[in-house]
Structure 1
Amino acid sequence: MASVKDSSQSRKKSWLRVFLPALLVLLWVAVAGVGGPYFGKISEVSTNSSTDFLPQSAESTQVVQQQGDFYDGNTIPAIAVFEAEGELTGEQRAYLDALPGQLKDTGVVEGQTSPVIYSEDGQAAEIVVPLPGDDTPSDAVETISSHLQNTPDGLNAYVTGPAGFAAALGEAFSGIDGVLLLVALAVVFVILLVVYRSPILPFVVLLTSIVALSGSIFIIWHMANAGWVQINGQVQGILLILVVGAATDYSLLYVARYREALTHHRSRFDATANALRGSWEPIVASGGTVIAGLLCLLLSELSSNKALGPVAATGIVLSMLAALTFLPAALALGGRAVFWPARPKYRENTKPTKPGLWSKIADFVAAKPRKVWIFTAVGLAICAAFAPTLSADGIRQSDLIVGQSDARDGQNVLAEHFPGGSGSPANIIVSEATLDRAVQAIESVDGVDSIAAISADSPSGTVPVGASAQGLPPMFADAKPTVSNGRVLLQVTLSDPADSPAAEDTVENIRQALDDADPAALVGGETATDIDTNTGALRDLKVIIPSVLLVITLILMLLLRSLAAPLMLVCATVLSFLAAIGVSALVFNHVLHFPGADPSVPLYGFVFLVALGIDYTIFLMTRVREETKKVGTREGMRKALVVTGGVITSAGIVLAATFAALAVIPLVFMVQLAFIVAFGVLLDATIVRALLIPALVEDAGKKVWWPSKLAKRDV
């Protein structure tokens, strides 16, 4: 009777062991089925408008909010620019004179196009074309560009201005949903094939990334749709890469434990339980640390940086959940078969293995630890010495696109034949009572070409004021500036291109000049937006970097129950980051010849490298602490390095490869971030984790655990 009962319980237990993993897999498949379609919908809740990400207190933001009081509709100007090989011919001028009406008939123009404006040298012309400003104007710009294909011989046409550059950005980000994801998955798959030498296991690991990403996209779409976060193309791209990389990293850690457990357990279910016990703590600890570091971005003034915090944190949470539920369940169902053809075999007595690469590295470090860490630290410090050469104080809008850009070519033509700021004026709101004084103050600033006021009475929509009003044609005789709530909106054309450093200096000087003439004046426009964005980004560097370091140090203190080890580890990680920035600066300045970098580049690089670098530190040091209790600190360090070295290096290669995939997006920001993080992760996962930190721990011995009990006794 007892044997029948035992047999029944055994069958029930076996049934549950199969049913529960199958249920988990089905639940995640359902998540992927629901979340998958949102890959194509995420652009619906994204915006690439720079003013959308500035704080409400920024002058340029306030101007955008208030300028709608002065004219109907929300528009963004495109500038159609034309350049002849010599002086414009009669045929070319006739074509241009008829063009404003033809452009109006395309159906994409919002409002009245400007008349043709000819350059003084007679070789170029421009037409300002207002387009709908609600969404990225890619379709409207494409329509205008298509209409300009049939120009007379010898006349080249370009579409530039704010709408032209916005369309270029939209086109650059258009590959995020498809190309970027496919490239990242393909690169990871190839690496996993090499690591596992199995055609089945890489698919299971990639499925873990895909289900995690599907769940993340679903949640984030609803967060953005509810207005909780504002996301743009760069946040989308980073999310895709981060989830694929993090989920794969956590999967590598679990698979390593599972493979090891299969050699000690006949039952694949017992091996699963053993692997989960050994891997959940370091995965949760490392993931929690990354999340804490990412959430420090909530301290940012810029909504784009602020949004990346919760968005990326959501991705990390889903990556951990998938790696600790879907992956174990799928591997439990597949058992040893998923490792085919190199299936791990059960061994009752594990025979000592021949010393491998990591045993040799561990012996090398243990033999002369002080020399190893000194030489390694000096090498990193030499690389770090070049970090200040990275010019991260902003980059011109015309330099954002990598490769050919119609908008940039058009901007160059504008700068050659017209005042550089044509079509992208500084928008300034002043009081009607101080209008004359404000205009005089603006005219006193070097770099101002002309001033006009928005006017509902004018055929062109504006009326020149100040010195620009002298000798006005009859069409402006009765035109007066539009007044709204006692305010007037001025459009100030600058002598230099709107995205140039000279234009930024001019706008800064205008703001200073208006402090006395009209303290309530607000200065906005493209140039002012760039200034306010860079100011916010530089402020974020000073606030977020110390916050991330503080949070991660505190978490390491709690995890390792030590003060000495966390301080040492954080210093090593910061040195690694500075070395990565130094090498990146050399590559950007002397190999790729980039004109500079956005302030967000070192900020994002720091957050990802420090947070993800600490990720590998936790994998290593939690194992060191575990082994220290058995064999002492120095031998524990050696054993931990041997066991985790291969996993950490593989994880680093995978994460570096996924971030390198960001370079397929033809934007300087993305290419720079891809290189910094990819190189930095490789540096961290190899040199720092393999040599610097092990050598420091070997040299310090049990003192590394001060003031915990492990510092007072060593096995």
Structure 2
Amino acid sequence: MSDLAEHERSGTDLSKGAPPPDASPPPPRRRQPWFVWAVGIAGIVFFLVGLVGMPFEGKLGEVQKNDNAAWLPGSAESTKVDTESQKFQSIATIPGFVVYERDGGLTDADKAKITEDLAKFAEIPGIAADQITQPQFSKDDSVATVTVPLIGKDGEEEVDGEQLGETEDAVIDTAREGAPDGLEVLPAGPGGLLVAFVEVFGALDGQLLLAAGVVVILILLVVYRSPVLWFYPLFSSLLALGASALVIYPLAKNEWLTLNGQSQGILSVVVIGAGTDYALLLVSRYREELHNHARSLDAMVTAWKGAAPAIAASGTTVILGLLCLALGELNSNKSLGPVCAIGIACTVLIMLFFLPVFLLSAALPGRLLGLVVRRFRGASGRWLFWPRIPRFDQRADVSTHGAWARFAEGVSRRRRLGWVSTAALLLVCVAFLPFLRTEGLSTMDSFTSEPDAIVGQKLYDANFDAGAGAPAVITASADKADEVIAAAAKVPGVATGPGAICVQPDYAKISQLIASGAISPADLGGAGCAPEQLQVQPIDGRIIIDANIVYRYDTDEADATVQRIRDAVHAVPGADAMVGGSTAINHDVLAASRHDRNLVIPIVLVVIMIVLGALLRALVAPLLLMLTVVLSFAASLGVSALMFNYVFDFANADPAFPLFAFVFLVALGIDYNIFLMTRVREETLVHGTQSGITRGLSVTGGVITSAGIVLAATFAVLAVLPLVSLAQVGFTVAFGVLLDTIIVRSILVPALSHEIGKKIWWPSKLAKTAD
């Protein structure tokens, strides 16, 4: 799996106590340059920053926003409606239902319990007590439902996901407490489904960290073949995660960026995966240099100088690619980029400054160990690599022996067969790309499991008006209200009958009247619109209207209905009507996702191309790398389409899915090509292009393959979570990283580079001088 073990073929047995006869004597101790002290001091500082930030990882859930409305840009029509609605209602609610069900029919005791619950629900903090409705019963009298809306916003203060979850749990606990045996109580509606998402995201980070940590430990044990060394990159990655949380938490708390459960979960995976990758590159180079230097410090200085440019370039490429997401419209996309970019930046700093100090700190326990165990005498910090400890023997060149050297020679000899066959394989995978469906997921299709809210929603849909509780919300000129209502009433998919389209009730006034005893909640249960005196009054010449839809708010049919409503009311002269509500929010989110996908992907390509050109000082090589990575990305989507449709049986994918997959696959996938081609260029300067390609692949093959397996495994952890969107991103990125690492970087890129020859460095001087 790794080329780390290849060094050991040239090592010596420590028990013999002395280096081989051909080894040069240790050089005289010399004064280290200033940057060594700078790296050491910076390492200590970043260690303290990461340590302080660790507690903030658990607090990130407090500043998450998982509702679609928080993700939308201010220019979206549904956002404008939401803003205008706040003038009419100081409290914004999220519709929610409690569903009661008994096989064979509800008993009198069940109905009495439901009636008692109404008063108890009104006393729960976070519930809009004035909007609780009287129970509705199904035709067969086996199911009942009560509308219990959650307060999502009170004035300017938004209720966070954790509070919403606690409120919904209190409602369901109240309904279940003292329920007769056999009476099932379930949540439903947008509120219940939103809380189901919040609860999944709340448990997400801990589960991901545990699963990713276990996976990384197992892989590093195999790669390093050491029972100790795995701890160093993993602990460093956890410090990077702590440092990231320390930066992200205040930004999210002060609403300078929007953090949601998805971005927090992906942050953990990106930091651990990328951190382990960077650590593998540094540790591999360090181990290589330990064969060339008697002192660990000298070996680390040389290794740092060799690995740091590639790690810094890789991190810069990923950061710039992620920051391109900030150019999009959707707040979730705009913030995912900065969130993960902060994570990568912290990871690069920790791996470049803390990890070297951490590895060198092993010298002290190494000396103590040598006092006790003769085998470790003189090993100093090298004991970390036990049982295959690298010795100072000046025989570290793995480019001429080992499995990867033989593989690289084979690629050189069969270059044309290599790139033609791998390109053909990738094109076959790309052929399945048209089968990828990205029209968006309904809430019901967003879970791979079946939480209580999904079970409750299915019961509700089967027995009641599926569109109740989540109407289309229309704002319009007050003097055109009747015309707008008439236009909306003619739209197919809008509910008919009394109370289907009404000026919104004034819930504050209704609450006051109920509190004074002037009316009772039972007086509000009749059909039809609220009396005019209980409706909201025009503000600044505007009015707000609710239009019930016959379909559940997150279905394709509801989406089509809202678009027809918009067309109808926009056509009313002088009404200046706009349509919002839950369905309209979903529609605008999907539209913004498509816009961001089409905008950001080309920009990311251009940015990465510029970075690669500056790094490799050429145009042909960066163009080759970009073309191969894009081909690998398209092939990954093609395979994903087959897996999603015919193996996992997912209903659909979000329009943002290709964008997320692209950013992570291209930005992270280009890392391995950077690691390869920077080493190829380094070798080319000494040995020429053809030999440089072979030697570069020989030296980097094992460590890059190991890094790719680690990154793929950490992203694969997402695929076991109960959310379809994360499972899709996890599978595609994991598969794409393996495809890029094993096929593209190991065969396609080196074979094409051999075929092109020294022209790959055009227009730099290497294109003329390297043979």
TM-score, normalized by length of structure 1? 0.93
Aligned runs of 1:529-568 on 2, under 5 Å? 529-568=585-624
How many Å separate the matches in 2 of 1:236 and 1:22? Answer: 30
How many Å separate the matches in 2 of 1:257 and 1:523? Answer: 60
How many Å separate the matches in 2 of 1:609 and 1:19? Answer: 36
1:453 corresponds to 2:508 = no
1:601 corresponds to 2:619 = no
**Alignment match, 2:11:** none
1:141 corresponds to 2:168 = yes
Q: Cα distance, 1:257 vs. partner?
A: 0.7
Match of 1:128 among 123, 126, 147: 147
After superposition, the Cα gap between the structure-2 partners of 1:20 and 1:713, relative to the gap in structure 1 and judged at 3 Å, is closer
Q: Secondary structure in 1 aligned to 2:652?
A: coil
**Alignment match, 1:401:** 447
Q: Secondary structure in 2 aligned to 1:48?
A: coil
**Alignment match, 1:46:** 64
Q: Cα distance, 1:238 vs. partner?
A: 1.1
How many Å separate the matches in 2 of 1:355 and 1:308? Answer: 44
How many Å separate the matches in 1 of 2:398 and 2:637? Answer: 42
**Alignment match, 1:164:** 192
Q: Secondary structure in 2 aligned to 1:523?
A: strand
* Kept in 2: contact 1:246–1:655 (CA 8 A): yes
1:435 corresponds to 2:508 = no
1:708 corresponds to 2:764 = yes
* Kept in 1: contact 2:474–2:579 (CA 8 A): yes
Aligned runs of 1:307-706 on 2, under 5 Å? 307-334=335-362, 335-348=381-394, 355-449=401-495, 450-456=500-506, 476=531, 479-517=534-572, 519-706=575-762
After superposition, the Cα gap between the structure-2 partners of 1:70 and 1:351, relative to the gap in structure 1 and judged at 3 Å, is closer
* 2:285 maps to amino acid: R
Q: Cα distance, 1:153 vs. partner?
A: 5.2
* Kept in 2: contact 1:653–1:682 (CA 8 A): yes
**Alignment match, 1:114:** 133
Match of 2:53 among 35, 47, 61: 35
* 2:654 maps to amino acid: D
After superposition, the Cα gap between the structure-2 partners of 1:101 and 1:701, relative to the gap in structure 1 and judged at 3 Å, is same
1:101 corresponds to 2:128 = no
* Kept in 2: contact 1:455–1:482 (CA 8 A): no
* Kept in 2: contact 1:116–1:126 (CA 8 A): yes
Aligned runs of 1:243-254 on 2, under 5 Å? 243-254=271-282
Q: Cα distance, 1:132 vs. partner?
A: 2.4
How many Å separate the matches in 1 of 2:330 and 2:401? Answer: 52
* Kept in 1: contact 2:97–2:187 (CA 8 A): yes
* 2:387 maps to amino acid: P
Q: Cα distance, 1:477 vs. partner?
A: 7.8
After superposition, the Cα gap between the structure-2 partners of 1:163 and 1:475, relative to the gap in structure 1 and judged at 3 Å, is closer
Aligned runs of 1:134-283 on 2, under 5 Å? 134-136=159-161, 137-149=164-176, 150-152=178-180, 155-283=183-311
Q: Secondary structure in 1 aligned to 2:769?
A: coil
How many Å separate the matches in 2 of 1:695 and 1:15? Answer: 40
* Kept in 2: contact 1:25–1:329 (CA 8 A): yes
Q: Secondary structure in 1 aligned to 2:86?
A: helix
Q: Cα distance, 1:394 vs. partner?
A: 0.7
Q: Cα distance, 1:53 vs. partner?
A: 1.1
* 2:383 maps to amino acid: A
* Kept in 2: contact 1:455–1:479 (CA 8 A): yes
Q: Secondary structure in 1 aligned to 2:148?
A: strand
Q: Secondary structure in 2 aligned to 1:494?
A: coil
**Alignment match, 1:82:** 100
Q: Secondary structure in 1 aligned to 2:361?
A: helix
After superposition, the Cα gap between the structure-2 partners of 1:22 and 1:623, relative to the gap in structure 1 and judged at 3 Å, is closer
Deviations 1:621-642 (A, max 9, x none): 1111111222221221111000
**Alignment match, 2:521:** none
Between 503-512 and 619-628, the greater mean CA deviation after superposition: 619-628
How many Å separate the matches in 2 of 1:587 and 1:639? Answer: 37
After superposition, the Cα gap between the structure-2 partners of 1:97 and 1:111, relative to the gap in structure 1 and judged at 3 Å, is closer
How many Å separate the matches in 2 of 1:616 and 1:351? Answer: 21
Q: Secondary structure in 1 aligned to 2:96?
A: strand
Q: Cα distance, 1:259 vs. partner?
A: 0.3
After superposition, the Cα gap between the structure-2 partners of 1:185 and 1:394, relative to the gap in structure 1 and judged at 3 Å, is same
Segments of 5+ residues of structure 2 without an aligned counterpart are: 1-27, 153-158, 363-380, 514-523
Deviations 1:321-366 (A, max 9, x none): 1111111112223221221222101104568888322122212211
Deviations 1:255-313 (A, max 9, x none): 11100100000011111111111111111111111111111111110111111222211
How many Å separate the matches in 1 of 2:334 and 2:298? Answer: 43
* Kept in 1: contact 2:322–2:341 (CA 8 A): yes
* Kept in 2: contact 1:21–1:333 (CA 8 A): no
Q: Cα distance, 1:576 vs. partner?
A: 0.3
* 2:401 maps to amino acid: P
After superposition, the Cα gap between the structure-2 partners of 1:153 and 1:640, relative to the gap in structure 1 and judged at 3 Å, is same
How many Å separate the matches in 2 of 1:352 and 1:510? Answer: 69
Segments of 5+ residues of structure 1 without an aligned counterpart are: 1-9, 463-468
Deviations 1:495-532 (A, max 9, x none): 11110000000000000001112652121111101100
How many Å separate the matches in 2 of 1:537 and 1:125? Answer: 38
Q: Cα distance, 1:454 vs. partner?
A: 1.6
Q: Secondary structure in 2 aligned to 1:69?
A: coil
How many Å separate the matches in 1 of 2:715 and 2:552? Answer: 33
Deviations 1:610-665 (A, max 9, x none): 01111111100111111122222122111100000001101101111111222343
How many Å separate the matches in 1 of 2:394 and 2:407? Answer: 29
How many Å separate the matches in 2 of 1:623 and 1:593? Answer: 43
Between 643-652 and 10-19, the greater mean CA deviation after superposition: 10-19
CA RMSD of aligned residues (A): 2.5
Q: Secondary structure in 1 aligned to 2:548?
A: strand
**Alignment match, 1:5:** none
How many Å separate the matches in 2 of 1:705 and 1:501? Answer: 52
* Kept in 1: contact 2:491–2:561 (CA 8 A): yes
How many Å separate the matches in 1 of 2:45 and 2:91? Answer: 47
Deviations 1:667-696 (A, max 9, x none): 111111111111111111111111111111
* 1:78 maps to amino acid: G
Q: Secondary structure in 2 aligned to 1:452?
A: strand
After superposition, the Cα gap between the structure-2 partners of 1:366 and 1:472, relative to the gap in structure 1 and judged at 3 Å, is closer
Q: Cα distance, 1:544 vs. partner?
A: 0.4
Identity, in percent, stands at 43
How many Å separate the matches in 2 of 1:190 and 1:258? Answer: 22
Deviations 1:197-243 (A, max 9, x none): 11221111112111211111101112223332111111111111111
* Kept in 1: contact 2:285–2:303 (CA 8 A): yes
Deviations 1:30-72 (A, max 9, x none): 2233111111221222211211110001111122222222234
How many positions carry a matched residue from both structures? 699
